[in-house]
Structure 1
């Protein structure tokens, strides 16, 4: 019966969803949505025509009593297509009226409700639907996910909603059963028996499988992984650098060097202000998706620092230095810590408008020789409809010797002159860009600032640079004085419910800071935070990702380990820090960490690439305990 219901749901998805090729991403005003003061994303939607409700028990009870479906929309401020969907659909009188009449609309900031967002993504994955943001999931009146979609143009989004509503109104009981069966399947899939990986030969077998899977998915022509849109995949890069130190191989060294060079010298990297964009939409690293995330840039600073050491490549340390400088210059908050992101949209709502230049603008900034040079060197980005002529994106932090030689030859100059030309053009463009505004999501998330403390503490320890030490000191004070109160972490200085990732990443930051200072009190502070993490989130061998007891979905999934995503696995990171604090913790915590480290499930064995941090940690931590 269950299998048949799931097959039916798959057919429903096909009927409901004419999927958009863009996988990402007045009536009464929306004054009720959760925590607008904490979330610029929710504040951004305050004046939508859709009457957004908060995600809480009262809203779910309203859905049950009315028999209406719930439209749960999840997004974040830096997301371009979240901005587009707001403009096209949530401010559209016809669409908003249909939603308000037939649905209970709920809006969440995924960066503040990441556990709920993760559960919805798990549902989308199970039904084979596109995943990304904005993520719009339809739930039954009892809270079971039924169907979902990412960004759609206004007309197809309205058609989608109308089809869902028509089917629901014709047979609510049937669709409730289908949705409940899907949720039961999610729980069944997630509760397969765990097992222990303890023998050295077992560990080596999975470590070899990780190397093989990485090689299988590696893009051997352009670097990175996969043949579509390219993400940095920082957790995997860090793990593969560790794997290279354990098992050196020519192909891995070649691939790491190519990947790291191409990311820094392509459209993924901003050569004017520094910093990396979230991803590129193509496999050649040419066309970026223009948001810049704090977590991407602190993790990539760690990647390039480690690559400089492991691969003995000074150019990679330069990339790390430029990235850390970008964070200090553009993402620091005046009251302490770092902000969450820079939006893909500029102050006029144009995607990439802060970074792109028309030929007319370039002619007014650069001299004729510089302009001709730039047009050979920079990337052409096709303009969006209605935005005029094609636009140019400055690219290239440091071209390779071959690229530089070809560029110099085509411009009838020496390589030294070409480098000087690049630097001069970049300075002119950076000055011109000061007249533009990059919108910031001012949220200061605890976990992401913990990763920043890790990066700056390590940079200070590796280089001895005073500016890194000062930034690490400020981050330490920010976390321990504003976020760590009464042995509990806040999600942001303004409140919010903390998550496992907040504790794990802050613990990693405090651990690296203690290594920098050598102060035993700092080790003890870190140990105190680690104790709270284990007590709050590790329950009978399973991990709880959030302290939010009101996820309110009628099912809950507790894993035995968490994978690497765009962020390093918080469970792997907490285990690693715990084992480093053996002298400051009771033995019971070390024993829990060892047990958690060697516990695995079928997903880890089938997809080791997505558990790369956990797997490579076996060789460097568990082997010594």
Structure 2
């Protein structure tokens, strides 16, 4: 930044600070991010770097000034983002270099996943790996030509100096390179339309799952690698596959994984909820940030697994995780916040990863007294549970029965003791500086949490979960759905903004449809269908049959992405394909089923080599190759009967219900006075009605 500009900015800041009320912190620098709502962007609002948020206007100005863009992407809970900010973006020397030579843009990847996707693809093409912070230098039109993740100050300055010289002295070469790279970014995202192949068969699926299973860790669960991510869509599909195909060895692997994750340090035994991933093979030391999207999906997964196994550990995980979300991430308006940071202030006032969560043996001894010896064995305050610098991350490795037997007490006594100990630790932990909260409310992540709550209600039967789900559903209805049935992406400080992306529509469509199945309230089904039809109109690529990540009403980027690979969150197209199959069962005259089948055909060539990377898609293969049951309930007690049927794990099914004949074809001409009847159907062809949930299950088994 020129000295004159620095002087003017400093003077303006001084004047502003004089006008502020007492006790407010004054800042030497304030940039354009001060007008944003994202906590991540606001964290950078007082950097000396002249950061601006991503917008068409900023890109237009870059072209007018003929300056390259320096685009830095991260998120509020990102540890290395904070490190680079401290080392580079808070440094005046670095800021002057950046301000003089670049248009500097800061992006919250959670607000703008559309931009993040493109530049993450770019850096992976440039360097072979990626991550956050994601730093990209691009031409004024947005085409990238250089990228890096975290760099310390000296490396950062040297890199930027070389880029500036190259941009000034060899523009033609830079432009050609950026053009070629942009072509590659387009090419890797192309999806070809496959009209020739048959739909993937069960035999093919069996072979793909067999290949996939070679990577399992049979002892510690998950995969034979570190770090270990939870990957809920992987285990959700394998639970579906193992139960409907009667594969006990696969169900055992799912159970091993879910048990080990619940035992691990990646699960917060004191406060409930999961961290993002474990850095080791035994689920011990987490990357301590807690994300809403992980916890929403894991609530759903553990609730389903509880329905299958009746394992009380899974029920406990669901209850405690929902408790964490309610306590830490629930806004009074019914929306859910995004995340808790990995970092918090330690006893010396320094930001440190995991400081809020870890314990020394001395602390535990003093706090737990006579109960410490049994707690020590239960949570491995030993070499197995030691992290670093004398800190322990609580981790289990034995069941309750074994430890109770070792201490000659009953399992109930043991559980009571551990509950008492954890309560003491939670009270003590509350005195610590809490991790920073990212309190923006994202539509897609709220959809995932809503689906988790509905599944928790459905399989655990707790009415409080339905109440919480309804509160969230009404929040989305009020604040995120526009009059034309389009969606906002983000809500913060009472305002909704940013046009939603495909993942927002897909997750809310799925959650509202699930909520209809739990309540039989037509309002949720109608919302879900209107969102689906809006998505068909504004996101669908007629050429490939897939759905773009961005709407046709949004400002165009250097690529209109199509998301197909299932990752920690399922691909928006795979969620849409599942939604379309289910809507086909309800609205057979629409083209929903044809669209879903074509989508699957377009990506199924990749199932053989990477089934785990397409796990959510594989549900559709089971839907299409196995019986899919439409269960219609009609009569005065349809809700009570629906709750009984819904408590059964029936992944290949959809529930509809009404007191009398309803609007759906499945509910027409079904009502009989004085009776509550259940009809089990396949593609609209139904067996004779029954009156109990047991009768429903018997009919489903007789179809097989």
TM-score interval for Structure 1 and Structure 2 normalised by the shorter chain:
0.7 to 0.9
Where does 1:377-416 land on structure 2 (aligned, <5 Å)? Answer: 377-378=380-381, 380=385, 382=387, 389-396=389-396, 399-401=397-399, 405=402, 409=406
Task: Report the alpha carbon displacement of residue 565 of structure 1 after superposing the two structures with TM.
Answer: 1.5
| Distance in 1 of aligned mates of 2:191 and 2:144 | 22
Answer yes or no: is the 8 Å Cα contact 1:527–1:584 preserved in 2: no
Stretch moving more, 103-112 or 576-585: 576-585
Q: CA 1:100 to 1:503, structure 2 compared with 1: closer, same or farther past 3 Å?
A: same
Q: Structure 1's 277 and 408: CA in aligned 2 closer, same or farther, altered over 3 A?
A: farther
1:433 maps onto 2:429 in alignment: yes
CA contact (8 A) 1:28 1:51 kept: no
- In structure 1, how many angstroms separate the alpha carbons of the residues matched to 2:556 and 2:28? 26
**8 Å CA contact retained: 1:130, 1:150:** no
Q: What does residue range 209-608 of structure 1 map to in structure 2 within 5 Å?
A: 209-347=207-345, 348=349, 349-359=351-361, 361-367=363-369, 370=372, 373-374=375-376, 377-378=380-381, 380=385, 382=387, 389-396=389-396, 399-401=397-399, 405=402, 409=406, 418-436=414-432, 437-486=434-483, 487-493=485-491, 494-540=496-542, 541-547=545-551, 553=557, 555-559=558-562, 562-582=564-584, 583-584=586-587, 587-600=590-603, 602-608=605-611
The RMSD of aligned alpha carbons is: 2.8
Figure out how many residues of one structure are paired with residues of the other and give that number.
587
Query: Residues 490 and 552 of structure 1: is their aligned pair in 2 closer, same or farther, counting only changes over 3 Å?
Result: closer
Question: Displacement, 1:104?
Answer: 1.9
- What CA distance in whole angstroms lies between the structure 1 residues aligned with 2:237 and 2:226? 22
Q: 1:434 to 1:558 in 2, by over 3 A?
A: closer
CA distance in 2, matches of 1:590, 1:576: 10
1:36 maps to 36
Q: 1:128 to 1:211 in 2, by over 3 A?
A: farther
1:613 CA drift (Å):
1.0
Query: Counterpart in 1 of 2:54?
Result: 55
Give the C-alpha shift of residue 359 in structure 1.
4.6
Residues 1:121 and 2:120 are matched in the alignment: yes
Shift of residue 188 of structure 1? 2.4
Q: 1:74, 1:107 within 8 Å by CA — same for their partners in 2? A: yes
Cα distance change on mapping 1:358 and 1:227 into 2, 3 Å: same
CA change 1:601–1:551 in 2 (3 A) is farther
Deviates more, 1:271-280 or 1:120-129: 120-129
Q: Which has the higher mean CA deviation after the structures are superposed, 53-62 or 103-112?
A: 53-62
Tell me, in whole angstroms, the C-alpha distance in 2 between the residues paired with 1:253 and 1:85: 43
Match of 1:8 in 2: none
5 Å-filtered alignment, 1:55-204, equals 55-191=54-190, 193-196=192-195, 199=198, 202-204=200-202
**Contact in 2 for aligned 1:129/1:148 (Cα 8 Å):** no
Q: In structure 2, the residue corresponding to 1:151 is in which secondary structure?
A: coil
* 1:161-187 Cα deviation digits (max 9, x unpaired): 334334434422212212221221222
Normalised TM-score (structure 2): 0.77
**Which whole-Å deviations, capped at 9, do the CAs of 1:400-421 have from their partners, x for residues lacking one?**
33x8636974x78776655444
Q: 1:192 to 1:269 in 2, by over 3 A?
A: closer
Secondary structure of the 1:131 match is coil
Aligned to 1:10: none
Counterpart of 1:386 in structure 2 is none
Q: How far apart are residue 198 of structure 1 and its match?
A: 5.7
1:332–1:338: 8 Å Cα contact kept in structure 2? Answer: yes
1:254 to 1:151, Cα distance in 2 relative to 1, 3 A: same
Cα separation, partners in 2 of 1:314 and 1:365, compared to 1, 3 Å: closer
Per-residue deviation, 1:516:
1.0
**Deviations 1:110-152, CA, capped at 9 Å, x for gaps:** 0110011011112223234322111112223342222222223
Deviation string, structure 1 residues 440-463 (Cα, Å, up to 9, x no partner)? 111111111112221112222223
Distance 1:366 1:512, change over 3 A: same
Q: Describe the shift of the 1:177–1:164 C-alpha distance in structure 2 as closer, same or farther (beyond 3 A).
A: same
Distance 1:197 1:338, change over 3 A: farther
How far residue 509 of structure 1 moved from its aligned partner, in angstroms, is: 1.0
Deviates more, 1:583-592 or 1:489-498: 583-592
Contact 1:542-1:558 at 8 Å conserved across structures: no
Contact kept? 1:501, 1:545, Cα under 8 Å: yes
Distance in 2, Cα, partners of 1:361 & 1:258:
32
Q: What CA deviation, in whole Å up to 9, does each residue of 1:25-80 have, x standing for no partner?
A: x998453239622x111111100121112222333234334443322111111112
Instruction: Find the aligned partners of 1:382 and 1:154 in 2 and give their Cα distance.
Output: 29
Q: Which moved more, 1:123-132 or 1:109-118?
A: 123-132
Tell me how far apart the structure 2 counterparts of residues 407 and 551 of structure 1 sit (CA, whole Å): 62
Cα deviation for residue 222 of structure 1 reads 2.3
Distance 2:560 2:490 in 1: 25
Given that 2:228 and 2:280 are in contact with CA atoms closer than 8 Å, whether structure 1 keeps it comes out as yes
> 2:79·2:343 contact (CA, 8 Å) conserved in 1?
yes
Residues 379-420 of structure 1, C-alpha deviation per residue, up to 9 Å, x if partnerless? Answer: 65655xxxxx43222334xx533x8636974x7877665544
Answer yes or no: is the 8 Å Cα contact 2:303–2:314 preserved in 1.
yes
**Displacement, 1:466?**
1.7
Verify: 1:612 aligned to 2:609, yes or no.
no
What is the CA–CA distance in structure 1 between the aligned matches of 2:593 and 2:278, rounded to whole Å? 41
CA–CA distance in 2 between the matches of 1:35 and 1:279? 33
**1:412–1:130: structure 2 CA closer, same or farther, 3 Å change rule?**
farther
* SS, match of residue 581 in structure 1: helix
List alignment gaps of at least 5 residues for structure 1.
Answer: 1-25, 384-388
**1:341 and 1:335 mapped to 2: Cα distance?**
17
Which shows bigger deviation, 288-297 or 417-426?
A: 417-426
Per the alignment, do residues 165 and 602 of structure 1 end up closer, same or farther by CA in structure 2, a change over 3 Å counting? Answer: farther
1-side partners of 2:95 and 2:559: how far apart? 31
Distance across 1 between alignment mates of 2:252 and 2:157: 49
State the Cα distance separating 1:621 from its structure 2 match.
Answer: 4.5
Considering only CA atoms, is the larger Rg found in Structure 1 or Structure 2? 2
Gaps of 5+ in 2: 1-25, 629-682, 684-704
Aligned to 1:18: none
Work out the CA distance in 2 between the residues paired with 1:603 and 1:116. 25
